[in-house]
Amino acid sequence: MQLLNGNEVSKHIRTQIKAEVEQLKAAGKKTPHLAAILVGTDGASQTYVAAKAKDCEEVGFDSTVLRFDATISEADLLNEVIKINNNPDIDGLIVQLPLPKHIDTNKVTQTIDWRKDVDGFHPMNVGLMFKGLPCYLPATPMGVIKLLEHYQIETTGKHCVVIGRSDIVGKPMSALMLQKNCTVTVCHSKTQDIENVIKGADIVIAALGIPNFVTAKMVKQGAVVVDVGITRVEDPTAKSGYRLKGDVKFDEVSEKASWITPVPGGVGPMTRVGLLLNTLNAVKNHLRFESR
Ligand code: GUN
């Protein structure tokens, strides 16, 4: 078994991003600027947004975090999005999900200017992605593809089983693996005989959010296993009071897999770098629009 080491690969990509930002600055061009909207006080969301801001700082981007009370009305939140759409200093905008129940998430993602939609959630970007055209790819599926490419994992003609059908991971992941010439099967909570479906996979991508769901008996000998799961599980011995758990039972599945991602240190850091790449691209596109 060999590790698909997201920590290492993401570090390499960050160094490249940092160098590009320095070149932009030296040429008197704009510093990439990411804005993040955070609504409410969900612990995981706060951690993710803080991590995204720190990542920006490390590669030389500007970042702005706009925090709103969970009671903000949908109309007021949409207005904040529009203000950022119209702010030429901001290149990329993310609205951290989940949002409070009284706010329609689709309305919010559709209000973001798709040219600043560095999450790749706007239907325009989703459509462009499905057609294989230039667009912002959602950070996690993009990160997985970059990880597989880095290790030169063969995808053409392989059977890829994606477990999970979320808008953020499962659906876009399946489209991207199709573009990599895989035969793709998407499994979900209603799939019959899911164990046997997974067993047919050359590449398993687990993104269902159930810790330790994928066990050794479900995995074919020599399969490539990518674990997107990062569920917080309470652990009083951990400093934070919780531990991140993947969807794959690493200890036993790693005995059968040819390649496998660890959790943490696999897909997580690649997701973070995906957002940075999109934000850098937002500036490059912006510069291209300007120079027309
Ligand atoms: N919540 C969980 N994952 C994501 C993500 O990739 N982007 C945003 N905006 N919210 C999330």
Q: Is the CB of 117 under 6 A from ligand 1?
A: no
Q: Is the CB of 142 under 6 A from ligand 1?
A: no
Give 53-79 pLDDT, tens digit per residue. 999 999 999 999 999 999 999 999 999
Q: Whose CA is nearest to atom 9 of ligand 1?
A: 96
Q: Is the CB of 137 under 6 A from ligand 1?
A: no
> What CA dihedral angle connects 231, 74, 92 and 144, to 10 degrees?
30
Closest atom, ligand 1, to C-alpha of 36: 9
How remote is the CA of residue 124 from the centroid of ligand 1, in Å?
Answer: 18
* H or E element, residue 43: helix 43-59
Q: 3-state SS of 199-248?
A: HCCCEEEECCCCCCCECHHHCCCCCEEEECCCEEEECCCCCCCEEEECCE
The dihedrals phi and psi of 22, each to the nearest 5 degrees, come to -60, -40
Q: Is the CB of 94 under 6 A from ligand 1?
A: yes
The pTM for the full model equals: 0.96
pLDDT tier at 276, thresholds 50, 70, 90: very high
Mean per-residue pLDDT of the chain:
96
Closest atom, ligand 1, to C-alpha of 139: 6
Distance of alpha carbon 208 from alpha carbon 267, whole angstroms: 14
pLDDT tier at 287, thresholds 50, 70, 90: low
Best residue among 97, 106, 173 to mutate for probing ligand 1, ranked by most atoms within 8 Å of CB: 97
- What interhelical angle do 170-179 and 139-150 show, nearest 10? 40
Find, among 247, 91, 224, the residue nearest to 169 by Cα.
Answer: 247
Q: Whose CA is nearest to atom 8 of ligand 1?
A: 96
Distance of alpha carbon 110 from alpha carbon 100, whole angstroms: 17
> Please, which residues have CB within 8 angstroms of residue 255's CB and are 6 or more apart in sequence?
1, 216
| 52 is an active site residue | yes
Residue with the larger pLDDT of the pair 289 and 231? 231
Average pLDDT (9-15) is: 98
| 119 is an active site residue | yes
pLDDT tier at 291, thresholds 50, 70, 90: very low
pLDDT tier at 282, thresholds 50, 70, 90: very high
